[in-house]
Structure 1
Amino acid sequence: MKKIEYPLLGECVYRTVLKNGLKVNLVPRPNFHKVYGIISTDFGSNDTHFCLPDTQEVRKVPAGSAHFLEHKLFEKKDHDAFELFGHFGADANAFTSYTKTSFLFSTTTNVKENLEILLDFVQSPYFTAKSVAKEKGIIAQEINMYADDADWRLYAGLVKNLYPGQPLSYDIAGTVDSVNQISVKDLYDLYQTFYHPSNMDLFMVGAIDVTETLEWINKNQAKKEFAPAIVPQRLDGRNEVAAKAVNPEQQLAFSVKRAKVAIGIRGFDRLPAGKAGLKYKLALQLLFYLLLGESSQDYQELYNQGIVDDSFDYSVVVERGFHFVWFSGDTDQPAIFRAKLTSLILHATSVLKTQTVEFQLAKKEFIGRQIRAMNVLEAIAEQYEGSLFDDATLFDKIPLLQELTLEYLLETAAKFISQPGMSVYELCPKEDD
């Protein structure tokens, strides 16, 4: 194994790639009692169009297929993986994002057994027409439940505005119609294409012995046979007319007492490769914290004027193939909320260029956050970036933050923020509400 050391942090990561292509990262924490393990595949809801290497035929899969596949992998012919984890004292879960699907467990006992359960259920698909039909009803209920959630509708509506006609415009779970189109064959085809070990990574952190844990993993994988890896050509399937278009605004009457407003900025600039891309993401997070974090002067003024309140939030999203930032909040003054925030964002470079002192304080705070996160096993494992940022981990963020300068933040803002890339989505109270 390769040992990657971070002397200033007193941390190290042990990394290797198995013969079957599975990438393994191990982080020993002998002073912890818990172990957290997560295996991920580079396949998410945005991967709806692809070509196989031996054909030019474009394969299109129904929206929500990645999420559906995540659900179905837990169910086997004679058992459910959740039950096995529970029997051996572990908590388990899974999630699907736009670009990856992850399966995880945490435990304080039976680490070997739980690790093998994780590897075995993810690497042994079992789908039947009956079980798939049953799952369609369950996921349809989930989709309908989210349709009644105001905050989710606000976020989903904004993303659809930012990426009209593209796979991102669909809910990660898909639609009821698209889910009903998923077949057993679709699931097996997608599994064979995207769940090969060479497209996956395993991250283990906590009370583990590196040599022993790697031996367990190797023995488990040696018992299995895998077909040759398929490297699909991913296609975004976008509507070319809408490829560079953003829907500037949209309103929806909804069952809310106060207006909910979301403002988004879509990045049209190219994301830097490798760890430079992570540095770019950190710069976006830092510049918008300076601009609209709770301690910023402009946020305090908006708060004191009653334009924003404690519901205000923002997030930076950077994934394979796209990046955007969104802001949202409940407000009694939606028109002023939109006008004030839009103007502030568009003039970010003018606002930030004099904030030398504030920048240094914010950078120290961000570094402090990363140091605190190093005490949380889940944060260490889930902030592993995989191939997106050249296998960067949480431990890489601190030196990258130290490199940041105010000048770099201003350059990043100038590249990222643009009027054509902005959109507003608003949920308005229904008149009878």
Structure 2
Amino acid sequence: MNKKEYTQINEILYTETLENGLKVYLLPKNDYHKTYGLFTTNYGSIDNEFIPLGEKDFVKVPDGIAHFLEHKMFEKEDGDVFQKFGQQGASANAFTSFTKTSYLFSTTDKVEENLETLLNFVQEPYFTKETVEKEKGIIGQEIQMYLDDPNWRLFFGIIGNLYPKHPLHIDIAGTVESISEITAEDLYTCYNTFYHPSNMNLFLVGKMDPETMIAFIRENQGKKTFAKAVPIARHFPEETASDIIRESSVKMSISKSKVLVGLKGLDELPSDGFELMKYKTTANLLLQLLFGNTSKNYLNLYNAGLLDDSFSYEFNLDRSYHFADFGGDSDRPEELAERIEEILLDVEKSEELTEVNLALLKKKMIGKYFQSLNSLEYIANQFSQSLYGEVTLFDMISVIESIQLSDIRLLAEGFIRAEGLSRFYMYPKQ
């Protein structure tokens, strides 16, 4: 087992890759009473076209199947896994993103017992025609709930403009039509391909003895047999800037118009883990410099009555995509979109990009990071989302400190391009 000390944050991370390929990460925090376990597969909603394990040709599975599979994993022949965790004094949950599916528990007692439950239920699939059909109605209601959420529709509206071919634009849960096509055989095909230990990682944080814990995990995994690990071949449609939909809109039952300006990354991303985390962090700092609530840009837009407290911005980066979006509620959404685009395209002349502003934001980011590390829940949920090869969430201080104003300007030059821009409006029905 490897041991890495992070002296700046006073943490020690233990790592080991087991014989079956499973990557294990242990972060002892013995001052805490609670322990979190997170079991994650590198498989999400965008992975709907791939070569199944043991086959040679690509197949395309129904949209929403990763999320559907997550739901079905908790139902076993002998009952519901949630109940078992409850009986053992733990709470459990799961979530599916565009690129990952995670299963987790938290407990103050019986850590090994709950960890064994987590490992076993995720590694013992059980799907039948009857249980699959029953789940379609439940997830169909969940899909409809999201379709009625204006902000959810707004977000997927701009993604649909930026990525009209890529499966990123499809709701993580799929559509009522797409999930109606899912079969138990489809679930087993996806499970056998993406839930191999070599495509997964296990992260534990909280009260534990790392040597005892890794021995327990080795024993659990050593009792199980898995197919030989092979690289997973995924396929995504090729897209160019010309495929971007420049503007679209929808009407919903809302009281105030909404707008999102999207910016699709057309530049090449670094392949090195540290540099990739640095790119993402630099992009976040750039957006804060330009649109943070202490920036002149934000205050000017606010004083002009173009935005209110609903205004937000975010940068998203994962395998096969990266983009930013900006916007919120506005009585003059077209004018707000115009001003946002002007700020972005005039970034070279921006008065916001100064050494003083960057230094302040870096201090603020480091402060929030230290504060977040007090939460085991934050660490558990963010660790797998911030894993770039050997670079982890705990390298963030080094990443932030390495960023210079020249890095901000260089990223802005490559990332902010007029041909990458799009707008999505949402108007009241009446």
TM-score when normalising by structure 2: 0.97
Per-residue displacement from partner, 1:131-189 (whole Å, max 9, x unpaired)? 00001111111111111110100001111111002211211111111101111100001
**Contact 1:267–1:417, Cα closer than 8 Å, also in 2:** yes
In the comparison of the two structures, how many residue pairs are matched?
Answer: 429
- The 1-side partners of 2:239 and 2:407 are apart by 33
Q: Per-residue displacement from partner, 1:81-100 (whole Å, max 9, x unpaired)?
A: 11111111111111111111
User: CA–CA distance in 2 between the matches of 1:85 and 1:244?
Assistant: 50
- The reply to whether residue 268 of structure 1 matches residue 238 of structure 2 is no
Structure 2 Cα separation of the partners of residues 81 and 216 of structure 1: 21
Q: Could you report, residue by residue, the CA deviation over 1:12-54 in whole angstroms, capped at 9, with x for unpaired residues?
A: 1100011111100000001111111101001111111112576
What amino acid is aligned across from residue 326 of structure 1 in structure 2? Answer: D
Residue 29 of structure 1 is matched in structure 2 by: 29
Q: Distance in 2 between matches of 1:25 and 1:135?
A: 33
Structure-2 separation of matches of 1:378 and 1:276? 26
Instruction: Give, in angstroms, the shift of residue 5 of structure 1.
Output: 1.1
**After superposition, what is the alpha-carbon deviation per residue over 1:335-368, rounded to whole angstroms, capped at 9, x for unaligned?**
2111111111121232157522111111111111
Are 1:51 and 1:58, in contact at CA under 8 Å, matched by a contact in 2?
Answer: yes
Q: Which moved further from structure 2: 96-105 or 240-249? A: 240-249
Partner of 1:58: 58
**CA shift at 1:385, angstroms?**
4.4
Aligned to 1:192: 192
Query: Does 222-231 or 195-204 show the bigger shift?
Result: 222-231
The separation in 2 between residues aligned to 1:36 and 1:312, in whole angstroms, is 33
**For residues 15-414 of structure 1, what are the structure 2 equivalents within 5 Å?**
15-52=15-52, 56-236=56-236, 238=237, 240=238, 245-273=243-271, 274-351=273-350, 354-385=353-384, 389-414=388-413
Deviation at residue 297 of structure 1 after TM alignment: 1.2
In structure 1, runs of 5+ residues without a counterpart are none
Q: CA deviation at 1:390?
A: 1.3
How high is the TM-score relative to the length of structure 1? 0.96
What is the alpha-carbon distance in structure 2 between the residues aligned to residue 426 and residue 86 of structure 1?
44
CA contact (8 A) 1:290 1:352 kept: no
> Are the aligned partners of 1:164 and 1:242 in contact in 2 as well (CA < 8 Å)?
no
What is the CA distance between 1:394 and its match in structure 2?
2.0
3-state SS of 1:203 partner: strand
Q: Deviations over 1:278-315 (max 9, x none)?
A: 00000000010011011111101111222111101111
Matched to 1:77, the amino acid is E
Using the TM superposition, give the Cα deviation of residue 244 of structure 1 relative to its aligned residue in structure 2, in angstroms.
5.3
Counterparts of 2:179 and 2:55, CA distance in 1: 26
State the Cα deviation string for residues 218-244 of structure 1 (Å, max 9, x = none). 1211221112224221111x2x47675
Query: In 2 relative to 1, CA 212–180 (structure 1 residues): closer, same or farther, beyond 3 Å?
Result: same
* 8 Å contact from structure 1 (residues 353, 410) kept in 2: no
Give the distance between the partners of 1:244 and 1:99, measured in 2 at CA: 25
**Percent of counterpart pairs with the same letter?**
46
Preserved contact between residue 338 and residue 424 of structure 1 (Cα < 8 Å): yes
